[in-house]
Structure 1
Amino acid sequence: MEAPEFAVYLLRKNPRIHAWPYRWVEWPDFRVPAHTLDAVAALREAHERAVSERVEIACGGGVGRTGTAIALLAVMSGVAADDAVAWVRAHYHPRAVETRAQTAWLKRTAELL
């Protein structure tokens, strides 16, 4: 697998990666980000960089937090906020965005964009 040129890690603790640039978003498992504006800034940067760089979005399990982040990236790319969960489940993982809190956070945060 090719290394990313940039990454966003959605984890409770900073992973302290030294091999490539990254942004850490404090985001406990099955929850929402500790700081919404930090999460939005990191995902905006990933969205912009993905135009010309290999970008990685990752959490511990790769489903709930990652799926929620990808759904927000989809909104940034023009998918309607009301359709983002269905879009990410169809295109990424059928169980993406695992909790009601994640769905509610996605809808609230999409209004900030």
Structure 2
Amino acid sequence: MAWEIGPGVIELPDGARLRGRGLRDGAIPEPPPEWGLYLLGRPPADAPWPGRWLRCRDFSVPRDLADARSAFEEAHRRARDGVRVEVACGGGKGRTGVALACIAQLAGVPAHEATAWVRQRYDSRAVETPWQRRWVRRFAAGGSVPPAQRSSGRLD
């Protein structure tokens, strides 16, 4: 059953809905997700629902473009099928914003508009760093997307 419109939930141009959140925000909002995509420096704690981990350190971008594209496509497909898909990272801003902006491109948002689109609909601080914004713009091309120029050094 798809998400109802509410806090953290965005509706893509194709009608698919996803919920973004920060894992450090505490309790899991109701209803719980049916599938999750987690962008973290280390594997997430076990959850009672299935999901996928995409290795991505705090303030950074995914290092493996093929894995990221596959994860974003899977999240988008599941959301289009009406599954309650959650996209999350530690704080729910940067990495979550990157994923939502890339998934939005899969749903038809132009690459050069994806960051602004997510900031308007999800969180005004989504996609936090210059290298995250550059990575989002280059995602649609499917070619070489460089890793972050710097990283905080933190694992998540």
TM-score by length of 1: 0.95
Correspondence for 2:111 among 51, 74, 81:
81
Q: Which structure dedicates a bigger proportion of its chain to helix?
A: 1
What's the secondary structure of 1:50's corresponding residue?
A: helix
For the pair shown, the structure with the greater C-alpha radius of gyration is 2
C-alpha distance in structure 2 between counterparts of 1:80 and 1:108, whole Å: 11
1:42-57 paired onto structure 2 within 5 Å? 42-51=71-80, 52-57=82-87
Cα distance in 1 between the residues matched to 2:47 and 2:61: 26
2:90 aligned counterpart, secondary structure:
coil
SS at match of 2:126: coil
Kindly indicate whether residue 93 of structure 2 is the aligned counterpart of residue 63 of structure 1.
yes
Which 4+ stretches in 1 moved above 6 angstroms? Answer: none
1:7 to 31, 36, 54: 36
Counterparts of 1:99 and 1:81 in 2: how far apart (Å)?
A: 16
TM-score by length of 2: 0.69
Pick aligned residue for 1:34 from 47, 59, 63: 63
Q: Count residues in correspondence.
A: 113
Q: Relative contact order (alpha carbons < 8 A, sep ≥ 6): 1 or 2 greater?
A: 2
Q: What residue ranges of structure 1 are gaps of 5+ in the alignment? A: none
Q: Structure 2 regions of 5+ residues with no counterpart? A: 1-29, 144-156
2:66 maps to amino acid: L
SS class of match (1:112): coil
CA deviation after TM superposition for structure 1 residue 16, in Å = 3.8
Q: Aligned AA for 1:32?
A: V
Q: Matched residues, percent identical?
A: 49
